[in-house]
Amino acid sequence: MSREIGITQLVENTAGGRGLLGEHGIAYFIEVAGRRVLFDTGQGEVLLHNAERLGLPLAEVEAIALSHGHYDHAGGLEDALSVTGPVDLYLHPEARQPKYNRAGKAIGTPYLASDALRGHVRRLVETREPVSIGPGIHLTGEIPRRHKIEDTGGPFHLDANRNQVDPLLDDQAMYLDTADGTLVLLGCGHSGVINTLEHIQQLTGGSHIHAVIGGMHLLRATPERLDFTAQRLEALGVEYLAPIHCTGTEAACFFRARFPDRIHASEVGTLHAFRRLQA
């Protein structure tokens, strides 16, 4: 694995092997040059079970990063920390806010705002800015919303009475340097897939986007937005695409029809391997 980047789908809506469990959520177990990182933690119902079944050494994880504060991405954090011990935790400060869906149902992660959290992390890194977790592993920080056609997939709110809209500024992506270009991992892509990818290109000085894996929150996307997204993915030259989780069945089928040779599954248990960029 020293010359490879390994991305194991630890949590996802679907499971792809005996004894593995799916849940509505995402978590990635990332291995780069002997360093182990978690990006997102799912809801918490299946994280530890799947890690044990897959033989993934959670106790060796050095850092955890969160894409945003929704329960299906940060809800498993407390369980993860019970195994990893104190690690560096990276998140946007607004991930800790209360969060509600269009029906006024709480969908945040109260543990993120608890006093108990600080006692279980080695270093709490709350930042709106891009940050590197380690060699070749980066977070975008807050993502500019340039394309208005890309909404959050909401509406989402900051209060149960639905008076205050949540713009989900805490949404961020992870990107990794590979020999074939930049690998992007999305949580839900609430900032918009293309907004996210173009922001990463700005951060990297125009690097080629080789692969995109993750949730794209296109469940309620219009045909115009789907076509816009596909056209921009084509223009960016994305060669490896795994639309999962909140992308939605209709959008995932749309991408499979549009890019039949580039689409990859990413069920629980899937290992994506990429060549590491050598220094």
Report the CATH number that the domain containing residue 239 is assigned in CATH. Answer: 3.60.15.10
The candidate with the shortest Cα–Cα distance to 106, out of 162, 151, 189, is: 162
Mean pLDDT of 191-196: 98
Whole-angstrom Cα distance, residue 137 to residue 108? Answer: 26
Q: Look-up: residue for tokens 């892509």?
A: 189
Name the domain count of the chain.
1
Q: How far apart are CA 181 and CA 240, in angstroms?
A: 11
Q: Which residues contact 55 (CB under 8 A, 6 or more apart)?
A: none
Looking at the predicted structure, is the pLDDT value of residue 226 above 80?
yes
Could you read off the pLDDT of 93-130 as tens digits, one per residue? 999 999 999 999 999 999 999 988 988 999 999 999 99
- Higher pLDDT residue, 34 or 106? 106
Residue 23's domain comprises 4-275
Spatial separation of the C-alpha atoms in residues 189 and 108, rounded to whole Å? 16
Tokens of 50: 């799947």
Per the confidence metrics, is the pTM higher than 0.85?
Answer: yes
Task: Please check the confidence at residue 2 and state whether its pLDDT lies above 70.
Answer: no
Pairing state between β 131-134 and 123-126: unpaired
With 50 as the cut, is the pLDDT of residue 206 above it? yes
Q: In what order do the strands lie in the sheet with 240-244?
A: 131-134, 137-139, 174-178, 181-186, 209-215, 240-244
Specify the DSSP class assigned to residue 24: S
Q: What would the pLDDT profile of 122-163 be if each residue is shown by its tens digit?
A: 999 999 999 999 999 999 999 999 999 999 998 999 999 999
Report whether 269 contacts 20 (CB < 8 A).
Answer: yes
Rounded CA separation 279/39 (Å):
24
Confidence band of 279 (pLDDT split at 50, 70, 90): low
Q: What is the pLDDT of residue 266?
A: 97
Mean pLDDT of 7-23: 97
| Mean pLDDT for the stretch of residues 77-89 | 96
Position 261 confidence tier, pLDDT thresholds 50, 70, 90: very high
| Residue 1 pLDDT greater than 60, yes or no | no
For residues 229 and 254, is the Cβ–Cβ distance under 8 A? no
